[in-house]
A and B are shown apart, each in its own frame.
Chain A
Amino acid sequence: MSAAQALTPDDPPASAEQAALAHRCLYFMSMMREVEDRIERKLYRQGKIVGGVYVGRGQEAIPVGTALLSGPDDIMLPAHRDLAVFLIRGVPLGRILAQYMGRAGGLTRGRDGNMHMGDLSHNIVSIISALAATVPVAAGVAMALRYRGSSGIAFSYFGDGATSRGDWHEGVNFAAVQKLPVVFICNNNQYAYSTPLSAQMACAHVADRGSAYNIPAEIVDGNDVFAVLEGAAHAVAHARGGKGPYLLECKTFRMTGHSAHDGAEYVPKELFEEWSRLDPIVRLESRMLAEGWAGQPELDRVRAGIRQEVDEAVAWAEQSPLPDPATLLDGVYES
């Protein structure tokens, strides 16, 4: 049974199925946390990451709770705090780490860094660094899926800041007018670099923007993976059912600076304290323990297994060669 089926409201999932889903969520959320911790707190400080580092610590429930509902024909357009999308779609971990290290084994073979990567063999379209620019592209992807008669839909990810941009509005409007099968997923972490939401938009919620385009918009607790899964199930069913786009706003908080070089002194300390109590991984683990879906030794084993996987992936990435300068001119054009 798929995750989406497990969440059909009229048919409460059997406990075993929900437990299995919880385990999958925990695995990918913990893996994302561990990989990003390793990148930001170890490899970056060791000088092994040659460029910028942007992590989604505390926001793991959003890519996990949405991407787990993606089907084989769906196309993902993740943003830079959605590492778990790559993991869920089966991109090898070593290649992600090699990407950060500028190695030939990275998804862009050293042509780009950090989360600026895509892989059509895994149905992932690369980020555009100016994030809102991806939204019209997602509309085009959805248009192509429908054009071909595919049942696939597009998953378009962005943050709160992106919704201030004109191309975000153009992309959402076009998708709405054309009733395209696309799910718009907003990771509202309340800061765009140093700019708080209050200086970003006059409306209270990103979801408020949905009504301007006559598309449904739903707000979920982005730090509760089950809430994200439920909202995503609504969104996916809507888009896949031919009813057009759906806007899912996931409320969360950026527990870091914008990037590894940003100490985020501009964020009031109380906010970090408040949101650290809402850590999505801690909440999921607590629920799993409370529901009897797992015992502590099992959770410890999961964590240890993830550490080992990351150790192995880091080793793979470190032995991946740096790109050969002789390849500099290759691939600007097909021929």
Chain B
Amino acid sequence: MSTTYLEAIRQGLWEEMERDPNVFLLGEDIGVYGGAFKVTAGFFEHFGEKRVVDTPISEAAIAGAAIGAGLMGLRPVAEMQFADFITCGFDQLVNFAAKCRYRWNAAVPMVVRAPSGGGIHGGPFHSQNPEMWFVRTPGLKVVAPATPYDAKGLIKSAIRDNDPVIYFEHKALYRRIREDLPAGEFTVPIGRAKVVREGRDLSIITYGAMVWTALEAAGKLAGEGISVEVVDLRTLVPLDRETVCDSVRRTSKVLLLHEDTRTGGMAGELAVSITESVFEYLDAPIVRVTAPDTPVPYSPPLEEAFLPNAAKVIEKARWLHRY
């Protein structure tokens, strides 16, 4: 039976809790209720209140307590009900968790699960992609899986990592994406991108839900005789620049794609990184498809206009191919 993205996260959490008694969960409504998205349904009954801690509505307390527990050698997994609410625990994560190792050589093993992304009519407070707040904070690792396999493998790696990891799980993928997962134990290493479709004419570099948009566009473009390679970053920090640059060497044309807003998005960092390393391989300007610099709107026609989609990617890819 194939496994949903949500079920994959759940399996990863469950297996790590079975494997290591130091792993525990904390967050709002995650215990008795099973989480706002039901990722942790059944955990409370199985693991008990000691290891599945329902907290007050208190993101600073959740983030801070996770750090304190991590410093003591436990492996907390903190759930933010929505990635948007991570702002309320921002100080603890950015000013403390991120700096502990560098400042005073203290490890903070912890994971913050951040359900992010639009396409669910969540509106401006429940749809953001705030990964860049953390990507540009040295000391934090940032992952953003697109597939059930990576979702499971990366949550397990994040829990085992000895540095704080912000784990962005895209809400629109929870029940929409399915995959047959191997029966046995597996992990996905943090810091490795993956070529999810090979191609010759141009590379789409992306991550998260946009991987599926890229694949949809690539499939349609193949019908027009345009061969598109798709690279799924999977991890944003540490960034696998080598896999990105290898793809550029093969195709010589780059389209950067993210659901996050435009200015200061991942595309900017990738573009400079590519020109620094493989400029001489480029046959065209680097282009990007992103959300515009607005809050995420609620009403369907507005949200559809906001979100990148296959049509927008195809248009840009055709231009790039002709160049």
A and B: interacting chains: yes
How far does the alpha carbon of A173 sit from the alpha carbon of B61 in the complex, in Å? 9
How far does the alpha carbon of A129 sit from the alpha carbon of B94 in the complex, in Å? 12
Which residues from A are CB-within-8-Å of B141? 333
Complex contact B162–A334 (CB within 8 A): yes
Interface string of A123-149 (1 = CB under 8 A from B): 001101110011111111111110110
Complex contact B66–A140 (CB within 8 A): yes
Q: Is A171 in contact with chain B by the CB < 8 A criterion?
A: yes
Residue of B nearest to A139 (CB): B65
Complex contact B106–A170 (CB within 8 A): no
Given contacts A171-B64, A332-B102, A334-B162, contact A140 B69 (CB under 8 A): yes
Residue of B nearest to A177 (CB): B56
Which residues of B from 73 to 97 have beta carbons under 8 Å from A? 73-74, 76, 91-92, 95-96
Which residues from A are CB-within-8-Å of B66? 140
Q: Is B67 in contact with chain A by the CB < 8 A criterion?
A: yes
Q: Is B215 in contact with chain A by the CB < 8 A criterion?
A: no
Complex contact B103–A140 (CB within 8 A): no
Residue of B nearest to A130 (CB): B91
Complex contact A111–B162 (CB within 8 A): no
How far does the alpha carbon of A158 sit from the alpha carbon of B92 in the complex, in Å? 16
Q: How far is the CB of B149 from chain A (nearest CB, A)?
A: 24
Complex contact A331–B96 (CB within 8 A): no
Q: Most chain-B Cβ atoms within 10 A of its Cβ — which of A108, A177, A331, A333?
A: A333
Complex contact B64–A137 (CB within 8 A): yes
How far does the alpha carbon of A177 sit from the alpha carbon of B49 in the complex, in Å? 13
Which residues from B are CB-within-8-Å of A137? 64-65, 67-68, 71, 92, 96
Residue of B nearest to A125 (CB): B71
How far does the alpha carbon of A134 sit from the alpha carbon of B63 in the complex, in Å? 11
Given contacts A118-B106, A126-B103, A331-B105, contact A138 B96 (CB under 8 A): no
Q: Most chain-B Cβ atoms within 10 A of its Cβ — which of A136, A139, A154?
A: A136
Q: Most chain-A Cβ atoms within 10 A of its Cβ — which of B50, B74, B102?
A: B102
Complex contact A140–B64 (CB within 8 A): yes
Given contacts A111-B103, A331-B101, A332-B101, contact A133 B72 (CB under 8 A): no
Q: How far is the CB of A141 from chain B (nearest CB, A)?
A: 4
Q: Is A101 in contact with chain B by the CB < 8 A criterion?
A: no
Q: Is B163 in contact with chain A by the CB < 8 A criterion?
A: yes
How far does the alpha carbon of A118 sit from the alpha carbon of B238 in the complex, in Å? 26
Interface residue from B71, B92, B104 paired with A141 (Cβ < 8 Å) = B71
Which residues from B are CB-within-8-Å of A112? 103-104
How far does the alpha carbon of A108 sit from the alpha carbon of B104 in the complex, in Å? 5
Which residues from B are CB-within-8-Å of A116? 103
How far does the alpha carbon of A183 sit from the alpha carbon of B154 in the complex, in Å? 37
Which residues from B are CB-within-8-Å of A166? 60
Q: Is B138 in contact with chain A by the CB < 8 A criterion?
A: yes
How far does the alpha carbon of A116 sit from the alpha carbon of B96 in the complex, in Å? 11
Given contacts A126-B103, A130-B95, A167-B91, contact A140 B67 (CB under 8 A): yes
Which residues from B are CB-within-8-Å of A16? none
Which residues from B are CB-within-8-Å of A120? 71, 106
Which residues of A from 154 to 179 have beta carbons under 8 Å from B? 154, 166-167, 170-171, 173-174, 177-178
Q: Is B24 in contact with chain A by the CB < 8 A criterion?
A: yes
Residue of B nearest to A112 (CB): B103
Which residues from B are CB-within-8-Å of A139? 61, 64-65, 68
Which residues from B are CB-within-8-Å of A129? 95
Which residues from A are CB-within-8-Å of B56? 170, 173-174, 177
How far does the alpha carbon of A178 sit from the alpha carbon of B163 in the complex, in Å? 26
Q: Is B266 in contact with chain A by the CB < 8 A criterion?
A: no
Q: Is B263 in contact with chain A by the CB < 8 A criterion?
A: no
Complex contact A135–B64 (CB within 8 A): yes
Q: Is B2 in contact with chain A by the CB < 8 A criterion?
A: no
Q: Is B32 in contact with chain A by the CB < 8 A criterion?
A: no
Q: Is A117 in contact with chain B by the CB < 8 A criterion?
A: yes
How far does the alpha carbon of A96 sit from the alpha carbon of B66 in the complex, in Å? 28
Which residues from B are CB-within-8-Å of A288? none
Listed A/B pairs (27) with beta-carbon separation below 8 Å: A108-B103, A111-B102, A111-B104, A126-B104, A126-B106, A129-B95, A130-B95, A134-B64, A137-B96, A140-B65, A140-B72, A142-B68, A143-B53, A143-B69, A144-B68, A166-B60, A170-B59, A171-B64, A171-B65, A173-B56, A173-B58, A174-B56, A178-B53, A332-B101, A332-B139, A333-B139, A334-B161
| Chain B residues within CB distance 8 Å of chain A | 24, 50, 53, 55-56, 58-74, 76, 91-92, 95-96, 100-107, 138-139, 141, 161-163, 238
New A-B pairs, 10, CB < 8 Å, besides A107-B104, A334-B163:
A108-B103, A119-B104, A139-B61, A142-B68, A144-B68, A144-B69, A147-B74, A167-B64, A170-B58, A171-B65
Top 8 closest pairs, chain A to chain B, by CB:
A140-B68, A136-B64, A140-B65, A144-B72, A174-B61, A141-B68, A170-B61, A167-B60
